[in-house]
C-alpha cells in the first residue's frame, strides 16, 4: 500500500475494530503492487483499540494506551479512516454503501467487519437506569459514572463467562461490592468443566465476590427515580430471593452484527452471522465478512484469534491468493481476578475413546485436566485453573503424535516441567494460535534472522503480539535455541527495558536516578508494566530508602504495598506489628489485645513469632496503626518484599542448654535490617545452641550459637521448595557476623533477579557460596566498602511506614473501601464466630446471612471512640456474641 500512486481498486471496510484493523495492517504489509485504495468506515468515535484488554481501563490505562494503531499508520496515502461514520445501507447492485451522514462510497470489494453486540437477556426492567453492557470504552465510562453515584455500593454482573468475570473485576476495582449471576451450573461453562468451575469459584468467592450459579434472574425492579434497585431471582440453588443493587452489567454473550447483510439480502446463519465460505466470501463475490459478524462453517467465533485469521485470509484473497479459513484454535488463557485459567483443544473429552487425566489440589486451589487420545499417543486438550504454567507446552502438543512422554501425568503434576523442558515439540506444533505461528516457524526465524530477544521474535513472526499468552513459551524456545547455538540468552527484565534487574539497580545507583519516569525515559521505553514497575519501586526503595508512597512511587506499588498491609481472601487486610525477636512486653501485649478486641480482628500467633491481626477493613487501617504506633510499635513489613522476621529461642538467658544470648542478637539484627527492600522476602533466625530450636538453617540467614561465638548459615528457605542453608563461616564474633550479613544482604539486593529468593540466587552464581565468600570476605570484586556504606545508609535513614503514612494527608486518602463514598463501610464483609473469633463467612454461610438467617455475624465492626485513636467512621458496630451463647458453628 505504499510507493508511487497507480491505478487502484476501491476496498471499503465496514468497521474499525480489532479485526478490521488487522485486515488494514495485512494489506499495508503485502500490497506492494498498490492494488487497493482502502476506506474504513467506523461506527465508534476512536480508531481500533484492544477490546481484549478493556479491563485495564479501570486500573489506570487510558484510551491511548489501549490503541492498536501505530503512530503514522492513519496517515498512509492509500488509507482513509472515517470515524463516527457508520454504514446504514449496502447497495449490492451499484456496489455502494451509504453512511449515517448521507455520504456514499463505491467499492470493488466490500469487507464487513462489524463485530458483535452484547446480548441482553429479555429480563423485565433491563431498561432501568444503572443497567449497562460491557463492550466499548463508552460503556466503561457509563459504568464508572453509575459506580460513582451508587447509593447501595453494590453491583451485579449477569453472566459468568469470560467477559462476565472481567466485568466483575471492573466493578470490584470501582469499589463496589460485587456479585456474579450465572444461569449455568458453573462459571465459564464454555471453557471449564464442573471440577474446574468449582476451583475457579473458590478463588473468586475468596476475593469477596458473591457467586450465584444455576440462578435465573426473573426481573429487575427500579426505584421511584427509575434506577435499578433490586434483582429478583426466579431460581436460586439455595433459595435466595434476590439482591439489592443499583449497578447491573449484562455480560451474557454476544450476537453477530449482521443487520447490514440481512438488509441487503446476503445469506445469514440460523443463529445469526453472515454466511461465508473458506475464503471468507459471502453469497456475493464482491463482499467478504470477517470476525464476530461472520458465520464460517456454520459457526460464529467469539474470540479475536479466529477473526485475525479471517483477516489474513481476506488480505491474501484480495491480492490474488487462495488462502482458506477452515476453523480456528479456540484455546484461551487469561488471568481472571488474579486467577490463571486456561482451556485448550478438546477440553471436555468429547472425542470417542478420549482418556482424561486430572490433578486437583484444593489446598492450593489448583485443578488440571489433560485429555489424551485413546492410545495415549497425543494430547487432545485440557483445562488449567489456578496454575497455567504448562499451558504453552500443552497447547503446542495438541495433535502432535509421538510427543507425549511415557508417563503423561508428569505433564500436569507439580513436579512436571511447566516450561516445556524435556518435551520435544514437533515443527508443526502451533505456538501462537492468534497468528497461526508454529514451533518450526519460530525456530527458523531465530536461526535465519539471528534473533536474540522476544521483541525481535515478535516483530519477525507476529507471535505474541495479540493476546500474549504464548510469550512465556516464546521465551523458552528462544532460550533453548540460543543455548543450543552457544549464544548468551537475553536477560532483559521485560519489553520496556533491555536490562536485567541487576543492571537496572546499577543504573539507578550510579546515576542517582530517583523516579521511574526518569529511569524509563533515559534507559527504557513505553510506560512500563506489572513486571518492571514494582521491580523499579523496590530498587528505588533499596537504594534511597524513601517513603514508598511518596509521589510517583505510590503508583508503582502492588496491592499489598499500596496499603501497607496484606490483602486477605475476603477483601480485608492483616496488621502485623513488629515484635523483634518475638519479644513483647506485657503492656504491648495488652495493647495488641485491646486493638484486636475493639476492631473485632482475628488474632493468631505466626510461625515467625509475631501476632497476626486479620480482618481489618481498609478504612480502619490508619486508626489501628495510630493506636499501635502511639504505644511504640511499628510496621512488621509483612506485606513487602523485605525482611520479615528474625526468629529466636530464649538462648542462654533462660535455657539451660543455651550458650549465647540469641534473643538479644535476634532483636539487634531485626532492628538493623527492618524495612530493607529486596528482590524477595527475607527471613532469619538465631538459635542459642546446636539444638536449633529457632530452625535457623531453614532461613535465608541462619545463626547458631557455639561456645566460641556464632556459626553463620546462608541461602536457605522454607516454602514450596525448602532448602537448608549452608555453613558460611564458623565461630564468628558478633561484629564480624553482622558485617558478613550486611554484605551478604546488600550483594543479594544488588545482583539477584526479580522475585528470586536467596537460595536459587546462591545456586545460580558461578561458584555458588564459594563465590559469595570471595566477594564478601576476601573482597574479590572490591565492593565491600560500597556494600558496607549502603547498609549504613539504610540503617541511618529507616523510617516506619505506618507512622509516615499517618503524617501524610495525601497518602491517607487511599484508605477507603469506596472512593465515591469514603465513609461507607463495605457491606460485603461478612464474618462468623469460630472458636470465639471472627473469620470470613464461607459460601453457604454468606447466602444464609444475606437471606437474613440469624447466625453469629460480625458485620462492619468499628472501634469505639477513644482519646487514643481518631473517631471511627459511622458504622453499624456490633458486639461480638458471647462464645458461650453461640448456637451455631461450622463443621
> Which positions make up the binding site?
649, 655, 689, 693
Is residue 878 classed exposed, middle or buried when 0-12, 13-18 and 19+ CB atoms within 10 A define those classes? middle
- Sheet architecture: strand order including 131-133: 131-133, 247-250, 154-158, 177-181, 210-212
CB 580 within 8 A of CB 671: yes
Instruction: State the Cα–Cα distance between residues 310 and 770, nearest whole angstrom.
Output: 58
Is residue 422 classed exposed, middle or buried when 0-12, 13-18 and 19+ CB atoms within 10 A define those classes? exposed
- Cβ neighbours, 10 Å, residue 748: 23
Instruction: State the Cα–Cα distance between residues 655 and 648, nearest whole angstrom.
Output: 12
Q: Where are any strands of DSSP class E within 483-599?
A: 566-567, 573-575
Coil/strand/helix, residue 729: strand
Widest Cα–Cα separation across the chain: 102
Strand 254-256 vs strand 247-250: parallel, antiparallel, or unpaired?
Answer: unpaired
Instruction: State the Cα–Cα distance between residues 669 and 667, nearest whole angstrom.
Output: 5
Taking each helix axis from N to C end, the angle separating 304-318 and 18-30, rounded to the nearest 10 degrees, works out to 30
Helix (H), strand (E) at residue 157: strand 154-158
DSSP string, 586-651: HHHHHHHHHHHHHTT-EEEE-TTS-EEEEEE-GGGHHHHHHHHHHTT--B--TTSSBEEEEEE--H
CA distances from residue 648 to 476, 664, 729 in whole angstroms, order as listed:
42, 9, 20
Residue with cell 539484627: 669
Residue 362 grid cell: 484444593
Helix (H), strand (E) at residue 837: strand 837-840
Instruction: State the Cα–Cα distance between residues 113 and 23, nearest whole angstrom.
Output: 9
Residue with cell 431471582: 233
CB 407 within 8 A of CB 383: no
Q: Which residue ranges make up the annotated binding site for [4Fe-4S] cluster?
A: 649, 655, 689, 693
Coil/strand/helix, residue 244: strand
Instruction: State the Cα–Cα distance between residues 596 and 573, nearest whole angstrom.
Output: 13
Amino acid at each position: 500500500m505504499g510507493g508511487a500512486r497507480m491505478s487502484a481498486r476501491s476496498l471499503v471496510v465496514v468497521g474499525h475494530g480489532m479485526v478490521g484493523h488487522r485486515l488494514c495492517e495485512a494489506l499495508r504489509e503485502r500490497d506492494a503492487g498498490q492494488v487497493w485504495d482502502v476506506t474504513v468506515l467506523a461506527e465508534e468515535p476512536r480508531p481500533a483499540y484492544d477490546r481484549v484488554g478493556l479491563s485495564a481501563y479501570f486500573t489506570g490505562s487510558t484510551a491511548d494506551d489501549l490503541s492498536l494503531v501505530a503512530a503514522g499508520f492513519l496517515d498512509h496515502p492509500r488509507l482513509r479512516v472515517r470515524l463516527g461514520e457508520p454504514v446504514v445501507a449496502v447497495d449490492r447492485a451499484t456496489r455502494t454503501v451509504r453512511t449515517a451522514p448521507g455520504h456514499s462510497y463505491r467499492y470493488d470489494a466490500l469487507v464487513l467487519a462489524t463485530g458483535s453486540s452484547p446480548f441482553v437477556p429479555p429480563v423485565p426492567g433491563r431498561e432501568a437506569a444503572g443497567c449497562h453492557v460491557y463492550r466499548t470504552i463508552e460503556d466503561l465510562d457509563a459504568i464508572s459514572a453509575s459506580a460513582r453515584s451508587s447509593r447501595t455500593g453494590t453491583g451485579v454482573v449477569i453472566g459468568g463467562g469470560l467477559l462476565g468475570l472481567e466485568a466483575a473485576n471492573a466493578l470490584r476495582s470501582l469499589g463496589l461490592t460485587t456479585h456474579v449471576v450465572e444461569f449455568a451450573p458453573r462459571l465459564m461453562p464454555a471453557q471449564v468443566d464442573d471440577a474446574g468451575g468449582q476451583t475457579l469459584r473458590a478463588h473468586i468467592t475468596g476475593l469477596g465476590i458473591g457467586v450465584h450459579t444455576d440462578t435465573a434472574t426473573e426481573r429487575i425492579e427500579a426505584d421511584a427515580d427509575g434506577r435499578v434497585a433490586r434483582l429478583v431471582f426466579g431460581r436460586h440453588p439455595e433459595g435466595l430471593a434476590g439482591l439489592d443493587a443499583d449497578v447491573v452489567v449484562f455480560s451474557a454473550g454476544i450476537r453477530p452484527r449482521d443487520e447490514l447483510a440481512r438488509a441487503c439480502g446476503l445469506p445469514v446463519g440460523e443463529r445469526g452471522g453472515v454466511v461465508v465460505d473458506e475464503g471468507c466470501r459471502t453469497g456475493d463475490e464482491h463482499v467478504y465478512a470477517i470476525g464476530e459478524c461472520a458465520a464460517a462453517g456454520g459457526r460464529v467465533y467469539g474470540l479475536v484469534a479466529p477473526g485475525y485469521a479471517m483477516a489474513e485470509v481476506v488480505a491474501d484473497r484480495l491480492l490474488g491468493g487462495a488462502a482458506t479459513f477452515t476453523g480456528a484454535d479456540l484455546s484461551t488463557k487469561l488471568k481472571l481476578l488474579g486467577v490463571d485459567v486456561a482451556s485448550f483443544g478438546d477440553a471436555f473429552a468429547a472425542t470417542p475413546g478420549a482418556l482424561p487425566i486430572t490433578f486437583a489440589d484444593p489446598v492450593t486451589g489448583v485443578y488440571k485436566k489433560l485429555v489424551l487420545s485413546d492410545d495415549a499417543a497425543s494430547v487432545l486438550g485440557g483445562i488449567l485453573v489456578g496454575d497455567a504454567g504448562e499451558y504453552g507446552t500443552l497447547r503446542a502438543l495438541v495433535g502432535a503424535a509421538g510427543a507425549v512422554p511415557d508417563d503423561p501425568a508428569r505433564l500436569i503434576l507439580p513436579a512436571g516441567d511447566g516450561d516445556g523442558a524435556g518435551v520435544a515439540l514437533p515443527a508443526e506444533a502451533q505456538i501462537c494460535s492468534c497468528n497461526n505461528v508454529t514451533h518450526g516457524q519460530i525456530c527458523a526465524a531465530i536461526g535465519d534472522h539471528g534473533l536474540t530477544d522476544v521483541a525481535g521474535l515478535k516483530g519477525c513472526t507476529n507471535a505474541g503480539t495479540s493476546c500474549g499468552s504464548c510469550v512465556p513459551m516464546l521465551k523458552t524456545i528462544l532460550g533453548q535455541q540460543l543455548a543450543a547455538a552457544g549464544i548468551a540468552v537475553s536477560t532483559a527484565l521485560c519489553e520496556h527495558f533491555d536490562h536485567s534487574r541487576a543492571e537496572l539497580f546499577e543504573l539507578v545507583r550510579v546515576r542517582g536516578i530517583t523516579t521511574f519516569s526518569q529511569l524509563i525515559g533515559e534507559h527504557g521505553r513505553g510506560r512500563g508494566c506489572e513486571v518492571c514497575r514494582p521491580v523499579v519501586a523496590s530498587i528505588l526503595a533499596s537504594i534511597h530508602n524513601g517513603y514508598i508512597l511518596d509521589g510517583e512511587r505510590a503508583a508503582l506499588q502492588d496491592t499489598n504495598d499500596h496499603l501497607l498491609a496484606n490483602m486477605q481472601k475476603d477483601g480485608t487486610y492483616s496488621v502485623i506489628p513488629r515484635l523483634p525477636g518475638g519479644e513483647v512486653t506485657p503492656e504491648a501485649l495488652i495493647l495488641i489485645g485491646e486493638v484486636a478486641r475493639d476492631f473485632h480482628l482475628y488474632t493468631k500467633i505466626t510461625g515467625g513469632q509475631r501476632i497476626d491481626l486479620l480482618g481489618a477493613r481498609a478504612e480502619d487501617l490508619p486508626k489501628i496503626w495510630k493506636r499501635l504506633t502511639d504505644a511504640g510499635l511499628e510496621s512488621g513489613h509483612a506485606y513487602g518484599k523485605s525482611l520479615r522476621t528474625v526468629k529466636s529461642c530464649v538462648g542462654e538467658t533462660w535455657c539451660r542448654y543455651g550458650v549465647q544470648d540469641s534473643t538479644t542478637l535476634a532483636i539487634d539484627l531485626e532492628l538493623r535490617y527492618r524495612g530493607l527492600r529486596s528482590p524477595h522476602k527475607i527471613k532469619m533466625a538465631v538459635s542459642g545452641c546446636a539444638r536449633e530450636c529457632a530452625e535457623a538453617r531453614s532461613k535465608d540467614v541462619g545463626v547458631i550459637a557455639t561456645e566460641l561465638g556464632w556459626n553463620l548459615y546462608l541461602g536457605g528457605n522454607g516454602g514450596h521448595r525448602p532448602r537448608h542453608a549452608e555453613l558460611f563461616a564458623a565461630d564468628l564474633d558478633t561484629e564480624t557476623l553482622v558485617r558478613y550479613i550486611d554484605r551478604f544482604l546488600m550483594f543479594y539486593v544488588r545482583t539477584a533477579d526479580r522475585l528470586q529468593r536467596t537460595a536459587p540466587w546462591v545456586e545460580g552464581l558461578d561458584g555458588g557460596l564459594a563465590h559469595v565468600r570471595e566477594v564478601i570476605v576476601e573482597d574479590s570484586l572490591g565492593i565491600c566498602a560500597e556494600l558496607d556504606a549502603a547498609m549504613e545508609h539504610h540503617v541511618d535513614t529507616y523510617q516506619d511506614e505506618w507512622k509516615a503514612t499517618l503524617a501524610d494527608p495525601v497518602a491517607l486518602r487511599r484508605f477507603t473501601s469506596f472512593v465515591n463514598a469514603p465513609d461507607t463501610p463495605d457491606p460485603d464483609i461478612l464474618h462468623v464466630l469460630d472458636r470465639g473469633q471472627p473469620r470470613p463467612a464461607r459460601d453457604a454461610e454468606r447466602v444464609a446471612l444475606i437471606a437474613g438467617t440469624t447466625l453469629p455475624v460480625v458485620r462492619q465492626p468499628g472501634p469505639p471512640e477513644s482519646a487514643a485513636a481518631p473517631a471511627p467512621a459511622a458504622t453499624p458496630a456490633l458486639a461480638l456474641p458471647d462464645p458461650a451463647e453461640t448456637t451455631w458453628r461450622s463443621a
